[in-house]
Structure 1
């Protein structure tokens, strides 16, 4: 069995065209006749994709139309885990090979529609569809360069040639004196799209929208300016000393946060703003050094981001925490001018009974 296998390999190597390389891989290319998938080198050798992402792209490309390619569906089909599959799909989506969009079906359900393109860069180079223009007869004489005019809303009909109607006019003459001078053969009319000299100028053509819009912005997209570091209301010497000491002491608890003197001087006002808002030093240390990325390459940048984004609000005062008192308006008592009884009213005068009796007596 081993001898036959080595003989077959030797025979296959002998059929490889050209001299064999002294080192490196040697390809034995046998054409496929069924069950194969064409994969471009732009995907197989993409410098920005990992080997896992390229492998899943090839697997997705080989699946039939309508196959579920979600994270859980791929995890049930292949031995890789869900986290590895999700990371590979995110890589393919960032480059443009994979697109996921939520659409609403006619019955009202919302589904996620997944589209895989084997060559996303080709979508941006597709030619723009030209407007339909029917064929028109060509003039025999050289015509001036036609100017483009906007397409008509109805299809143009070809103009019938005038030559067959002009020839019988010369044959039907009866008297020599009545025969007019032979007119020169008129040239056929040029197409309607090029004859009018006073045609309006065509509107500026709007660039066609690209058929493929990547969901991830390109690396050349403008970035927002970074937020400024928080500053204390008053940077006293005591606050500055405590802030610099806290920053210099971070390496004692977490060696990855070893800062330079320049970094400590730049970040000290932000730490002073935290201390001014009555944040405890151990709380600040925990917030700044908790769960750092591995490997931590720029500790000063991470501290600058956390000091800016995670800044706590000032502590409320005693008057802010006091429950507001509901004021109740009390109508005072008044003494009736008629019967001297007490009744509630905002203005002095008579009570209700006295006002009624006085009105009846006046009537």
Structure 2
């Protein structure tokens, strides 16, 4: 009698098998969009290394070359690719003491704003301000108005753009900034599919600026003309205006004032016919 348990080995898959361990410290979260980035492996490696560094760590080309075996040309090309796709942004700013510095922002997802990631941007050094002079009558500060929420159709259209092109992933702040321009297109009679096509067709490869800036440029440059009053249809008869009859004061349609058809006909019948004169004789008055 055979046993019910089979001694045959389990089917082995030729694909990858994950052996996962729960990590509570010293790890970095990478988006699949970055980890599965097609192209140079150096670009993914540089991005993963920068994301693993603490705030304030130097990420100049020279500093990165001390960590990677690749040279300055390869590292510089990887940084340009990350910047073009929105993973990295470099800004030249003036510090509190007047010194010009380059600040680098690294995004977990392209399009995320620094305010959405607490601690991603170091706070500037505090500047001492003069003590305010006591006011005999304290003034009541005006209550700031709440931010205007974007129109739902425009916000929904912008939020769905990344379904057409994965590079067009926008943050909530960028959607709120672009929504008024999209609303203006909708008010001018442009259908949502036409707006989506205008924003996503023939995009550059790669995008060398922030997607929100590119979309704002297209919304401004390709903005349709405001609708005007519809022109009269060709071939349709013109509407003849109404006139008041000079004889009976009844309304009738005519190009200019005068008498209606009935008054004109009655006036013609009431007019006496002229008596004919014979040839060679003069009419006696």
Classify the TM-score, shorter chain: 0.3 to 0.5
- Specify the structure having the higher radius of gyration (Cα): 1
TM-score, normalised via structure 1 length? 0.31
Q: Which has the higher contact order (CA 8 A, sep 6+)?
A: 2
